[in-house]
Amino acid sequence: MLETFDKVAIRLKVNGKPYSVSVEPRMLLVELLREELNLTGTHVGCDTTYCGACTVLINGATVKSCTMFAVQADGAEILTVEGLEKDGKLHPIQKAFGDSYGLQCGYCTPGLMLSTFQLVTKNHAPSEMEIRKAIAGNTCRCTGYQNIFKAIRLAGQNMKGA
Amino acid sequence: MYPRAFHYHRASSLNEAATMLSQLGDEAKLLAGGQSLIPLMKLRFANPRHLVDLNFVLGTSYIKEEGGVLQFGALTRHSEIENSSLSARLPILHDCAAGIADVQIRNRGTIGGSLAEADPSGDWAAVLLTQKTEVRCLSPRGERTVPLKDFITDAYTTVLEHDELVREIIVKVPEKGSGGAYLAFKRSAPVYPTASAAVQLTMAGDICKDAAIVLGCIGLVPVKAIAAEDALRGHKIDDKAVASAMEAVRVAGDPQSDMRGSAEYKRTLAAALVKRAIEVALRRARGERVEVTHIYA
């Protein structure tokens, strides 16, 4: 007989909006966001805890959402790239990435912007080394790092004014 | 990628987690930070039928100092240690915590999980073996405290019974005049190091009273480089003493050639890391503030 695995009921807030869902224990957080909640701004890149395309914030700390089960997000507050924009206005970080051409193909951009979020909310003027450390877990395969660095510096300045 | 299906059990206390492990048998595994276990499950190298989640147990993530010892709750995240002022009392811990993988992984991964996983390339075990470290373990039969040197017995293997878990890690703060450093080389941020070296030197003036040197990634378990320690202990640490320590490091352990580099390359790398770590440890023993962490290209 086929063994059955009970689903687990969880409640969480994503970008300020409450959700109650029932998930298979093995469902990854990134799959919950993309497949169940239709928040496809969070990307799946390597799916092996390397590239950081799936980075989201959980209770204010960045995590790779391909390396956490959805059941573990029970009670958590999650911020995805869709939560950055407010009332049709781009977030200062999004604006900085646009103004600095901080993206090429754009696949890594949601993750990079959320890693930037964790960095620049605490530190408006990060040094080169601090930026390097902050985005070491985000890979840009277009290798557009020069402009990403510019974007992060500008994001810090934008956040100071915000 | 989906892992094999499993039953999910959320523990509300460590005692309950140990009882769950005992009842569920050896097809159950603990989920702490999950930064090693979840990738292994996704690749189906690990297929536990039951997962016992420790992340909802309150009071398992802390750093305390009491009577000259630091206590770390088993689920203390690497990033909490990185950002704690207490770990600045023991800079070698900061070297390690601030350099493990990347920000996202440090936000999830735990010190207790790292020790219990006992990956031959893990960072914490090598670092903590240079200190007087004990692991407090809990099972339905009660508690026991195991010196870290007896805790890891083989690659991915510890003395933990199947229903036993790590509760706390206890590290004695070294005496004044002692300095340590941890350096690891890795090819990029998110990966395990190619080789690593942890050094703790206790100085009396120019003379090295005591030395602890432990190497990571060059054996199935962290390698205590006894001959390298002997090359320093009781001596003035000059170029000659450092050269003998490096020579001893080159022949210590049994590195395997793999995609990270040849055995010969790892030996050379470990020796160079030890040299640098000795320099930093000496400066710290003199009270200098020096910041180091993992090195990557």
Q: What is the DSSP string of chain A?
A: -PPP---EEEEEEETTEEEEEEE-TT-BHHHIIIIIS--TTS--SSSSSSS-TTEEEETTEEEEGGGSBGGGGTT-EEE-GGGT-BTTB--HHHHHHHHTT--SS-SSHHHHHHHHHHHHHH-SS--HHHHHHHTTT---TT--HHHHHHHHHHHHHHHHH-
Q: A-B interface: how many C-beta pairs under 8 angstroms?
A: 92
Question: Percentage of chain B with pLDDT > 90?
Answer: 96
Instruction: Mention the CATH class of domain A8-83.
Output: alpha beta
B107: three-class secondary structure by DSSP? helix
Q: Is A130 on the interface with B (CB under 8 A)?
A: no
The CATH H-level superfamily of A92-161 is: [2Fe-2S]-binding domain (1.10.150.120)
Residue B58 domain-assigned (yes or no) = no
Do A26 and B3 make contact, defined as CB atoms within 8 angstroms?
Answer: yes
> Is the per-residue pLDDT at A162 higher than 70?
no
**A27 vs B4: CB contact, 8 Å cut-off?**
no
Q: β-strand A55-58 against A61-64: which pairing, if any?
A: antiparallel
Cα–Cα distance for residue pair A92/A28, rounded to 1 Å: 30
Is the Cβ pair A118, B103 closer than 8 Å?
yes
A19/B contact by beta carbon, under 8 A: no
In a domain, B2, yes or no: no
Q: Is the ipTM above a cut-off of 0.95?
A: yes
User: How far apart are the C-alpha atoms of A149 and A115, rounded to whole Å?
Assistant: 12
pLDDT (tens digit, 9 = 90+) per residue, B96-112? 999 999 999 999 999 99
Do A67 and B108 make contact, defined as CB atoms within 8 angstroms?
yes
Distances from the Cα of A139 to the Cαs of A53, B108, B247, in angstroms? 8, 19, 37
Question: Does residue B264 fall inside a structural domain?
Answer: yes
User: Is the Cβ pair B4, A72 closer than 8 Å?
Assistant: no
Give the SS3 label for residue B266. Answer: helix
Residues of A in contact with B108 (CB under 8 A): 63-64, 67-68
- Would the pLDDT of A161 be above 90? no
Nearest CB to B7 within list A5, A49, A68: A5
Residue A1 in this model has a pLDDT that exceeds 90? no
Give the domain-ending residue among B122, B152, B172: B172
Number of structural domains (chain B) is: 3
pTM for the model stands at 0.96
Residue A153 distance to chain B (closest CA, Å): 18
Structural domain that includes position B259: 178-296
Give the tokens for residue B256.
């395997």
Q: Do B38 and A71 touch (CB under 8 A)?
A: no
- Supply the pLDDT for residue B261: 95
Nearest to A67 among B7, B38, B189 (CB): B38
Last residue of a domain, one of B152, B172, B192: B172
For chain B, give the mean pLDDT. Answer: 96
Chain-chain contact of A6 with B7 (C-beta, under 8 angstroms) = yes
- Please check whether residue A118 touches B, CB under 8 A: yes
Compute how many other C-beta atoms are within 10 angstroms of the C-beta atom of residue B68: 9
